[in-house]
Amino acid sequence: MGPLQGLTRTQRTRWYLLAIVMLTGCTANPYRAIYEGIKQQQEVVKSPRERTLSTPLPSYDAYRDELERKNRTAP
| Amino acid letter for position 69 | R
Is the residue at 2 inside a domain? no
Residue 61 maps to a domain: yes
In a domain, 31, yes or no: yes
* Confidence band, pLDDT 50/70/90 cuts, at residue 54: confident
Q: How many domains does the chain have?
A: 1
1 by DSSP, 3-state: which? Answer: coil
Domain contains 1: no
Count of residues in the chain: 75
pTM: 0.55
Q: Is 72 exposed, middle or buried (0-12, 13-18, 19+ CB in 10 A)?
A: exposed
Q: What is the pLDDT of residue 27?
A: 63
Residue 64, domain extent:
9-73
Domain assignment present for 3: no
Judged by DSSP in three states, 75 sits in coil
Predicted pLDDT of residue 73: 85
